[in-house]
Every structure is written in C-alpha cells, then in structure tokens.
Chains A and B, each alone.
Chain A
Amino acid sequence: MTERVVCATEDLPPGSRVVVSVDRIEIGVFNIGGELVAIRNRCPHAGAPMCDGLLTGTVVSDGPQQRRWAHDGEILRCPWHGWEFKLPEGRSLVDPPYLLSTYEVRVLDGQVLVDTASGRGTRTRAEART
C-alpha cells in the first residue's frame, strides 16, 4: 500500500496548501475551492520547490487584442522563473510539453491520503518529444 496520510482535512481548508515529505518525496496538497490537488514539490523546468509558488489566476485571450482574467486560483506560478502551471492537471501554459507531477489524493475518515506511487513522471520538453 502506497497511500500515506498527509494531514487531517481540517488542516487543509479551501485556499490552503500543505507540504509533506513522504517516502523521500516532497509532495504538496492544495485545496482549490474544495478540490484537492497533489503535486510533487519540484518544477519540471529546473527543479524549483513548486509549492512555494503563488496560486493565482491568469490572463487569456478570446480574440485579437482581447484580454480577460481567467482561471482564478488555479494557476500555480513557479517561484524561480515564473512559469505558469494550471491545476489540477498541472499543464504548463507557457510551454505545454511541461507537466507537473501529480498524485492521486482522496479523503478517508477525516484524513487526506496521497498515493505516492501514483505520480505521473515529470515531463520535460525533451521527454515529451520522444
């Protein structure tokens, strides 16, 4: 069994995050408006501690010269070079081959559980090409 307890659900209210080290992997769990998202604490670009990043929104364009605020609270910006990753899927908005490692997470009996074996490997541009 590779599920590990991260914290009690009351310690992870909406808008908060918890970072733990389990099985020698640092994993962060975010509560985004009630939805839990677990990611490896490592940016696929150059290895920054991703969970130190700002959770924010971003600007998208619906047509020429148009700007609109979107994905409020779903964009995690890397604390090193500012790349944007969209949660829950972890896809980079700025260079889509890059993807955060995400883990399966669920709640059982008031505990937040992460399956540490479920991580999808961090992808880089080079890996995505092969």
Chain B
Amino acid sequence: MSAAGAARREGTELAGDDPARLATVSLETAARGGRPPACAIVDASVHVRPRSQAEFRAYLPRLWKTRRLPSGDGYYYPNPAGNHLRETYSDAGPPGSDPDLLHRHLITDGGVDRVVLHPLTLGLLPDIDLLGAVCSATNAWLADTWLGPTHDRFHGTIRVAPGDPVAAVAEIERWAAHPGFVQVGVPMQSLQPYGKRQFWPVWEAAAAHGLPVCVHADAETGVEHAPTPAGYLHTHFGHAAVAPFMFVNHLTSLMTEGVLDHLPGLRVVFADGGFDLLGPMMWRLDKDYRAMRVDMPWMTRLPSEYLAEQVRFVAHRMDGPDDAAVAGEWLSMVDADRLLVYGSNYPNWDFLPPGLVYPDAAAEARERILHGNATRLYELDRGETA
C-alpha cells in the first residue's frame, strides 16, 4: 500500500515537510479567545526576519556578503505543534517577514496600537566578527524595511553581541539617535552571566541612551553552553520548560555583581518566560542576601527591591496557576501588574492574543500589563505629549 493510502486509513494528514501544513495553531482562532481589553495595546515582543537570504545579504559588507551563514537551527527540539502560526506562512517569505501581513494580523485585525519588533541574530557564533556583522546588518535591514514614516506603529530593537563589548557599544552608538529603535536586544545564551564586568560597557551605553536591554532566547548554532548544566532534555516540552532558568541566572548576576546599583537608569526586560520563577527566587535571594551582604557591599537594597524600578518581564507564556482564584492572588503577590509587559511572541506558535492576557484580572491591572508599563518603559508617548 502507498504511504498516502496508509495515511488515509489512519485518518491522519501527512504534511511531509511543508511547515505551513504542520502548523497546528491558527492565529485567527487564537485571536478570538479570551476577553478583549478595553485599553490601547502595546505588543512588546514580535519577531521579524528577512524575506530571503538575498534581502538580508544586501546589508552585509562585501567582506561577509558571500560567506555562508549558519542556519541557526542547531535547534534539536522540533516543536510538535509546528514553530509558527498557520496564517503567517506566505509565498512572499517566511513567517514574520512581510510588514503588510504583520500589520494586518496585529494592528488592523488584532487591535494592537504599537508593536516592538525584535529580530534575532543567530545567537552566538564562533566568529565574533561575523556575529557583529550579522547584528549590524540586521539593524540596518530593520531600519530600512520596518521602521520609518510608513510604519510608525513599529518600533525596533538594536541587536548587539555582548561577547564583543567594543563592537556592541559601537552598534548602540550607531543607532541610539534613530527614533525607531526603543531597546537593545541580546541573546539569552551567553558564555558568562550578564552581570560580569566584561559586559558593563554595553549596559552603560544602553543606560546612557535610555534604552532598555531585552534578553531573549536566540537561535542555537552549537557554540553555546548546553541548555542545562546536566545536558540535554529529551523533547521540546522539557527544553522549553527549563530554558527560563537562564533568566534567573542573568538577573541574579546583574544584581549580585552590582550592575543594577551602578546603573540605576538601566532597565532590563526578560522576554522569554521566567516570571513564574521570580517569586520563590526573590524569597531565596532576599533571605540569603541578609546573611551574605558582606560579599556584595555594592548592593544597596534587598534583591527584590530592584525589580519594580529596573526589571520587567514579557508576559507571553502565561505561566502561573491554572485556577483563576489562585492566579489572582499569585499575581498580586508577585507585583505582576507592575513587572509585566504584554508581548504576543508573533509569529510563533505560542502566540498570545491580548484577549487572553489575564482576562479575569482587574481592568487597571490589565491596562498596565497591556499598555501602561510598556508605554513608560519605552517612552512611547514621548511624541504624543510633545
């Protein structure tokens, strides 16, 4: 019997390697979920990419233009639901590559007012110069393709590779005055936790320009640490569940090594989960800090006291208790309405429509998460009030 015949008999559809047909999650269906918010909406975490290698390579200098680039999917964990939303596949390019389609999905149909775009840059590469060139090209491409007068609802992220602090600072300086960029983006993957002194010039440059630093999981090319210190878990499910511990590592490092004290104006945004780990982690840090302060004399407050002013988390995974009654209590316990900013993670499969953002929470709390916190963080109302 042919393969097709077998598939019919089992009642399954064989999608082959067509990613669009493997995509389980439908944007249009997901977007109908929940309770639509009454407030304006800022989507702080949307991922875009070039339509093609050619579109991207146009921004690489001649030195790198004809170099092979790693695919960035040394990613060993295929997602059983497919990686992207069904409707984001188009003939014109991969998901998240078409400004008009994205505008329609999120703004025209989705009701979002402003979108913070965050392209990724191949994580870590063994050749730090090539990685720097990829970051620079990504920023120039984003500015040309997505930012500017025709797309005034889109805001951009300056991608840098903190492993080369000199190049990273230069890249921040290059774009800081561009009105379209509202944050600096760095990979979650790093060979050292981000509080280490070698990274300080990068955080100083970001703070000097009032740009928050957004930490987001990036592609994997094989030169990063294993996802857990004990190695690799079995499936995408396990991988996704433990990945957010990296944010705990970076945050703890930024606190204990004195970065948050040294740069009171620095804002750090953790964009890929971990918020649900924050409560117990802060209990632990506050408790142990009081016994061990002597080792971090530069810390001027309890670890948990840095959060409200300097740290934000993107809400897109909606981790937390299932039970709505418990969830409400938990959210107020962990200051969620001050620390969270809404991000959909479009066009990825775990897209969160605004209606599903804590639908049972009080209206003011939802307003802060969906709009107010991000507006203040990125100073998005600067132009409007002027």
A interface with B by C-beta (< 8 Å): 45, 58-61, 63-68, 81-84, 93-95
In contact, A94 and B258 (Cβ under 8 angstroms): no
Smallest Cβ-Cβ distance to A93: which chain B residue:
B293
In contact, B290 and A94 (Cβ under 8 angstroms): yes
9 tightest A-B CB contacts, nearest first: A61-B297, A82-B291, A94-B290, A61-B298, A64-B262, A94-B293, A59-B297, A59-B294, A60-B297
Contacts A45-B290, A65-B298 known; list 14 others, CB within 8 Å: A59-B295, A60-B297, A61-B297, A63-B298, A64-B261, A64-B262, A65-B258, A66-B298, A67-B297, A82-B291, A84-B294, A93-B293, A94-B289, A95-B302
Q: Which of B178-193 contact A (CB under 8 A)?
A: none
Nearest chain B CB to A43 CB, angstrom units: 11
Main secondary structure of the interface of B (DSSP, over half): helix
Q: List 24 A–B pairs whose Cβ atoms lie within 8 Å, in order of A's numbering.
A: A45-B290, A58-B294, A59-B294, A59-B295, A59-B297, A61-B297, A63-B298, A64-B200, A64-B258, A64-B298, A65-B197, A65-B258, A66-B298, A67-B297, A68-B297, A81-B291, A82-B290, A82-B291, A83-B291, A84-B294, A93-B293, A94-B289, A94-B291, A94-B293
Q: Which of B293-313 contact A (CB under 8 A)?
A: 293-295, 297-298, 302
On chain B, which size bracket covers the interface? 10 to 19
B292 an interface residue at 8 Å Cβ cutoff? yes
Query: CA–CA, A93 to B262, complex, Å?
Result: 19
Smallest Cβ-Cβ distance to B286: which chain A residue:
A95
Q: With A64-B298, A65-B258 in contact, is A81–B197 under 8 Å at CB?
A: no
Residues of B contacting A66 with CB < 8 Å?
298
Query: CA–CA, A80 to B69, complex, Å?
Result: 57
In contact, B298 and A82 (Cβ under 8 angstroms): no
Which of A58, A61, A64: most chain B Cβ within 10 A? Answer: A64
